[in-house]
Amino acid sequence: MTIKLSKRVNELIVLLFVFGTHPSFAQITKQPANKRWVIGSGVNLREQANLSAPVLMRMALNTPVNLIAEVPKSKYCEIEVLASDKEALRGFTACEFLGANVIKPREIASLYLADGKTPNPNYNPERSFWLKPSYEALAEYGRYLENKRNYPKDEAEGVFLSERPKIAEFERMKAHLAKGILVARPEPFLRWDDLKISVRNLQKERLKKIKRIGPIEKAEYSAYFGTSLEKRTNNLMEIIGINTLDGLQGRAGLDIPPKLFSFIESLELPVITSSYFQDQNDIAAPTTHTEKVAARFQIIQAIQTKSYESRPKENKREWFGLWDISLVNRSLTQQVVKNTLSKNGSNIQSEATYIRQSVLEYGNDDGVMCEGYEGDGFDFGDADPKISINYGLNSGHPDYSQPQKTGNKLMYFFTKRPLPQQTVSLNITKQKLNRAATGFVSSTAFHFDLNSDGIPDLVVWEGVGISPGHLDGPTKTDDAWFRAFFVNIAGHWHLLGKDTFSYGCGC
């Protein structure tokens, strides 16, 4: 028996055959009628459809959900939160925070499009803030107000905004940040073995490129610059914290990769098994930024702003800031533990802290040069004063300042809870290195065992060699100018952070 199909049905069959398995086909099909996305940040999912009901979870922006039903005579909707790693969770949330499409905050957060010139027709700093509250989003709204003040739509608006009055929406945003916000977790710490594999692949790709175009330092600009290889090489230098080795930087760091590759290959860490730290989020890297620790430990940070500070300018006191903000104070809402490790001691120096941070907000004004600079030295540990003394003598500046942070502190790190003990086992190893290959002449590695199980938990690697120096150029002496921090997480070494000796603020 022969079945005749209409022309339209035949066309549909052909379309299904051609496009049915193509990835883009799924993108043009309609979403299920009950599919929704959360269009707010930190939206509550409650047990019942009322404001006093217990909160089951806080949903992030663009969390996918299924709409079950709108609750009659109520502003609530019953939903099911989709989760791939566990069973779906049912609850109730305000219907106003559910949308039919994914929200892309970046599309409405900037005044201009990607070219930096064309006005963005979707620019909406108010909505951008409430979708993803942050100080950066608050500052963007402040710049929006400043722009309206400078270019008012009429005389009345110009008069109203001339003295930077309190704007209700701006005040509401500031109050929201003062109560505290939760930011997304950062990228996981990189496994050292994985980084070595990436380096080997980069090296192979770089050699292929050289074979094809000749020496990179002599190549045409477009043959290397802006390519994926150059971007990934620069990213590697940023991850390690090195863009100068043995006093060489070259054209956009082109002299660095071979030595950087060799340096990474030569940096061998002890074989380990699992010990104290079991999870990426058991430890936070050294930092002076409240937000970074808040993100790692998922702790709410409170952000408070202060208005109308002043500073000397041309023998006068002149207001500065962004709209009415000139000081930003950040603080964790619960304490963490700051743990400091030393070169020669077996004791850990621990203290509870909220990591309070105060930063001046200059708006469009230029900040004071070198403001906040704590003097030459390391950011997270002490330094040998001889480094600065030698640099001053060799660069013609015998009065060059000594580091303000001198002593035996190597680095610090953060934990949510106190360590099991305040003593550590310390093992120190030294190694000679090939300057021509790695940029360093020697290294010292400090191995710390935090829980007395014979397995190192942290390693501080300190490299000695010619450093970048300051405005006068590279040093003439070999200094212990670079430190890398490694943490044993579940039996694998991860790069926790890095620290470089600063010879000046650049001013």
| 73-91 per-position pLDDT tens digit | 999 999 999 765 567 899 9
Q: Which helix (H) or strand (E) holds 390?
A: helix 386-394
Given a cut of 50, is residue 19 above it in pLDDT? Answer: no
d(CA 153, CA 394): 60
| 40-56 per-position pLDDT tens digit | 877 899 999 999 999 99
Share of the chain above pLDDT 90, in %: 51
With CA atoms as reference, report the closest residue to 388 among 483, 475, 499: 475
Better pLDDT: 389 or 161 = 161
d(CA 254, CA 356): 40
End-to-end CA gap in the chain: 90
What is the per-residue pLDDT for 53? 95
What is the per-residue pLDDT for 470? 78
| 461-492 per-position pLDDT tens digit | 999 999 888 777 788 889 999 999 999 999 99
| 324-349 per-position pLDDT tens digit | 999 999 999 999 999 999 998 778 99
CA distances from 401 to 370, 379, 406, 475, 493 (A): 14, 16, 12, 15, 37
Better pLDDT: 215 or 266 = 266
Question: Mean pLDDT across the chain, nearest whole number?
Answer: 84
Please report how many Cα atoms fall inside a 13 Å half-sphere around the Cα of residue 187, on the Cβ side.
8
Domains and CATH numbers, the chain: 31-99 (2.30.30.40), 189-299+334-361+376-507 (no CATH)
Given a cut of 90, is residue 233 above it in pLDDT? Answer: no
Q: Which helix (H) or strand (E) holds 388?
A: helix 386-394
Q: 138-149 burial string, b = 16+ CB within 10 Å, else e?
A: bbbbbebbbeeb
d(CA 103, CA 62): 6
Assign residue 333 a region (left: φ > 0; alpha: ψ between -120 and 50; beta: otherwise).
alpha
| Least confident piece of the model among 18-27, 249-258, 293-302, 493-502 | 18-27
| Least confident piece of the model among 47-51, 90-94, 370-374 | 370-374
d(CA 317, CA 487): 49
Q: Which residues contact 76 (CB under 8 A, 6 or more apart)?
A: 46, 49, 50, 70, 92, 93, 94, 95
Given a cut of 50, is residue 12 above it in pLDDT? Answer: no
